[in-house]
Chains A and B, each alone.
Chain A
Amino acid sequence: MDITVNILLTIATAATPLLIAAIGELVVERSGVLNLGVEGMMIMGAVCGFGAAYLTGSPWIGVLAAIIAGALFSLLFAFMTLTLATNQVATGLSLTILGLGLSGMIGTNFVGLPGVRLPNLYIPGLSDIPVVGKLLFGQDPLFYVSIALVIAVSWFLFKTRKGLMLRSIGDSHSSAHALGIPVIAYRYLAVMFGGACAGLAGAHLSLVYTPQWVENMTAGRGWIALALVVFASWRPMRVLAGAYIFGAVWIGQLHAQAFGIPVPSQFLSALPYLATIVVLVLISRNKRLTMMNTPASLGQPFVPDR
């Protein structure tokens, strides 16, 4: 029983950064912008989160620093693609390249240092309830943040007027512009929300998942988060499901390695990436369905006439 609980807990820990990054990117893509820089923003969040926590001794300041770092870093992308109308794919790639480089530079002196872990939530009484207590009331704070984000984004997109406006921009930016909806302003905010989420996801890696700084510690999670958004057909609840499936794959292969399954560890390590491909193939096979769900102006640059 305890083993099951522990496995579930580790799955949640592995799923949380994917979920946070993906839910942020979902909002970005719903506004019609494709930001391939998730990996770069995430690693910036990870290194800034670690650094701030290490220097101040407070993991919460680390979390805050990661959020700010992610948002500021995404602002660069927003300025390029929204104000200068650059190619979103190429700009996103350069954000990732820059993020990996910059984080390596910032983190040179952090390598090998002991990290500060964000403490798990503990509610006396509730957290002690067998099984459920630990799962529901004893996890790291960012786990709750991730769930809250899913609910909040869901509510925002489908229950509020501003959410409707955001979706309308993603569907047709020229129509939205003709109606007087401030397309560029909404997209700036969406991109920065995505950046803040990616930064937070990075903080989860360096303050919860493995509380230390390792170069390239995101290991492609930013890209998997991007795949999750496609997998989820741009729906928040499905992102939740997808993140937990991937969390399970990630933990599964780690346990298999620890268990000493007679398969080379590299093959097991490749599983999450292969799983991503398989999942993408399965979801995009139905071309009609994909076209229905994809925000119609996704990736298109928008330059209004004036």
Chain B
Amino acid sequence: MRIELVKRPERSKLFSALSPFIAFALTVMAGAILFAALGKNPLAALYTYFIDPVTQVWQLHELAIKAAPLILIGVGLAVCYRANVWNIGAEGQFVIGAVTGSILPVMFPAATGWWVLPLMLVMGALGGAAYASIPAFLKTRFNTNEILTSLMLVYVAQLFLDWLVRGWWRDPQAYNFPQSVQFNPSAVLPELDPMAGRANWGFVFALVAAVLVWLMLSRMMKGFEIRVLGSSPRAGRFAGFRYSYMVFFAFLISGALAGLAGISEVSGAIGQLQPSISPGYGFTAIIVAFLGRLNPLGIVAAGLVLALTYLGGEAAQTALGISDKVARVFQGMLLFFVLASDTLIHYRIRFAGIGQKSTEAA
């Protein structure tokens, strides 16, 4: 038996809507197998992983904390991937955004006032955008593959942060711990409802960004331009759109959103700079973008799902004694299944036996 693809005349609306759910269901099934292989009761483990972490209000707040950067970055990446621009260095832009946003609270810790936080956020976004403009520039000016350059810059950004918190910006009172000074209260992103949990305004930024980018992609000329250039570049050129301009636009938007996510994370959830400020948000956001089918509203839902995989990983570690790396495994599987389910949108799958009549399935 072999598997054949038969192209559909038009994309299937049914599977466009269903594919993320199919992917999630397959991931859960694969997860059950994985847990069973590790010698755990699959149902109990799945409960620990996917349900238990979100049964109380404060846990939902934790979910929002994890989801906020994923959504912010994912929304920006959706713009990139729709435009067929492959920014996979959001992790680096996140780090640089955190660094540039922290200039104010770290170098001028005495600065207080209502303006401190907004300025930090703006500087974070600008920093992320500026860092993202490097691969954009290299791509448009020298035709350099943006996948590789943006990724290499992640390592550079992480090393730069490492140097900052161990060197120049190290808090002298921190007994040689590699960390910056604690941000003063006016540089800290406020929590939404301190009585209920730790979730901060970063989640609101994420929702606002998602709605705005959704409006742009679906209702505005700019979104049309992005979609045309991404799906058929030559038709885009015929329309008078410029791909090189779009490369910059997409990188700047996604860099700015990643930078904003970075400074929001540091000034919100963490409160200071330290060598590691992200459990791979920039990479996980790639999965978020695809699971959300590159639609900003879908990305909000996808961000929550992926945030849950982080919480589930932590829960699995404490409750089941499994490596928290299991979160990465779940994330990787999820992306695999999303991509596989997306095939159903454009193709029907046919199982053909050798030398016999083919049978068609949906």
- Tell me the A residues contacting B by CB distance below 8 Å: 36, 76, 80, 83-87, 89-91, 93-95, 97-102, 104-105, 108, 219-220, 223, 226-227, 230, 264, 266-267, 269-270, 273-274, 276-277, 280-281, 284-285, 287, 290, 303, 306
CB-CB < 8 A to B159: which residues of A?
Answer: 266-267, 269-270
Alpha-carbon distance A267/B286, docked complex (angstroms) = 28
Given A98-B332, A101-B329, A280-B148, the answer on whether A220 and B155 have CB atoms closer than 8 Å is: yes
Alpha-carbon distance A83/B328, docked complex (angstroms) = 25
A-facing mask of B298-323, CB < 8 A → 1, else 0? Answer: 00000000000000000000000011
Closest to B81 in A: A90
**Nearest-Cβ distance from residue A35 to partner chain B, whole angstroms:** 12
**Nearest-Cβ distance from residue B81 to partner chain A, whole angstroms:** 8
Assess the B325–A97 pair: CB atoms within 8 A.
no
4 residue pairs, one from A and one from B, having the closest CB atoms: A101-B328, A98-B332, A104-B325, A94-B335
**Nearest-Cβ distance from residue B1 to partner chain A, whole angstroms:** 12
Alpha-carbon distance A166/B142, docked complex (angstroms) = 30
**Nearest-Cβ distance from residue B313 to partner chain A, whole angstroms:** 9
Q: Which of A80, A85, A95, A270 has the most chain B CB within a 10 Å cutoff? A: A270
Assess the B155–A273 pair: CB atoms within 8 A.
yes
**Nearest-Cβ distance from residue A176 to partner chain B, whole angstroms:** 18
The tally of CB-CB contacts under 8 A between chains A and B is 140
- Tell me the B residues contacting A by CB distance below 8 Å: 3-7, 86, 88, 138, 142-145, 147-149, 151-153, 155-156, 159-160, 162-163, 166-167, 283-284, 286-287, 290, 322-323, 325-333, 335-336, 339-340, 342-343, 347
CB-CB < 8 A to A85: which residues of B?
Answer: 5, 343, 347
Assess the B339–A87 pair: CB atoms within 8 A.
yes
Which one, A91, A104, A281, contacts B144 given CB within 8 A? A281
Closest to A264 in B: B163
Can you spell out 21 A-B residue pairs with CB atoms less than 8 angstroms apart?
Answer: A85-B5, A85-B347, A90-B339, A93-B88, A97-B284, A101-B331, A102-B332, A105-B322, A105-B326, A105-B329, A220-B151, A226-B148, A267-B159, A269-B159, A273-B156, A274-B152, A277-B138, A277-B149, A284-B143, A303-B5, A306-B4
Assess the A290–B143 pair: CB atoms within 8 A.
yes
Assess the A287–B143 pair: CB atoms within 8 A.
yes
**Nearest-Cβ distance from residue A10 to partner chain B, whole angstroms:** 21
Assess the A93–B335 pair: CB atoms within 8 A.
yes
Alpha-carbon distance A80/B148, docked complex (angstroms) = 22
Closest to B146 in A: A280
Given A90-B339, A94-B287, the answer on whether A280 and B160 have CB atoms closer than 8 Å is: no
Alpha-carbon distance A220/B156, docked complex (angstroms) = 11
Alpha-carbon distance A85/B4, docked complex (angstroms) = 10
Assess the B339–A91 pair: CB atoms within 8 A.
yes
CB-CB < 8 A to B340: which residues of A?
Answer: 80, 84, 86
CB-CB < 8 A to B329: which residues of A?
Answer: 98, 101-102, 105
CB-CB < 8 A to B143: which residues of A?
Answer: 284-285, 287, 290
CB-CB < 8 A to A87: which residues of B?
Answer: 339
**Nearest-Cβ distance from residue B159 to partner chain A, whole angstroms:** 4
**Nearest-Cβ distance from residue B186 to partner chain A, whole angstroms:** 31
Closest to A226 in B: B148
Assess the A284–B142 pair: CB atoms within 8 A.
yes
Tell me if B's interface is mostly helix, strand, loop or mixed: helix
Given A97-B332, A280-B144, the answer on whether A105 and B152 have CB atoms closer than 8 Å is: no
CB-CB < 8 A to A280: which residues of B?
Answer: 138, 144-145, 148-149
Given A84-B340, A101-B328, A274-B152, the answer on whether A264 and B4 have CB atoms closer than 8 Å is: no
Alpha-carbon distance A278/B287, docked complex (angstroms) = 29
CB-CB < 8 A to A108: which residues of B?
Answer: 323, 325
Which one, B88, B145, B152, B326, contacts A101 given CB within 8 A? B326
Q: Which of B5, B286, B287 has the most chain A CB within a 10 Å cutoff? A: B5
Assess the B162–A284 pair: CB atoms within 8 A.
no
Given A86-B343, A274-B156, the answer on whether A230 and B145 have CB atoms closer than 8 Å is: yes
Taking A97-B335, A230-B145, A273-B155 as known contacts, 15 extra A-B pairs with beta carbons closer than 8 A to each other, sorted by chain A number, are: A86-B342, A86-B343, A87-B339, A93-B283, A97-B286, A97-B328, A264-B167, A266-B162, A269-B159, A276-B148, A277-B149, A277-B153, A281-B144, A284-B142, A306-B4
Alpha-carbon distance A90/B284, docked complex (angstroms) = 12
CB-CB < 8 A to A274: which residues of B?
Answer: 152, 156
CB-CB < 8 A to B147: which residues of A?
Answer: 36, 89
Alpha-carbon distance A267/B158, docked complex (angstroms) = 11
Alpha-carbon distance A276/B4, docked complex (angstroms) = 40
CB-CB < 8 A to A83: which residues of B?
Answer: 3, 5
Alpha-carbon distance A270/B158, docked complex (angstroms) = 9
Alpha-carbon distance A281/B76, docked complex (angstroms) = 25
Alpha-carbon distance A267/B283, docked complex (angstroms) = 23
Closest to B330 in A: A101
**Nearest-Cβ distance from residue A99 to partner chain B, whole angstroms:** 8
Which one, B86, B149, B162, B333, contacts A98 given CB within 8 A? B333
Alpha-carbon distance A102/B38, docked complex (angstroms) = 13
Closest to A91 in B: B339
Q: Which of B155, B284, B322 has the most chain A CB within a 10 Å cutoff? A: B155
Assess the A277–B339 pair: CB atoms within 8 A.
no
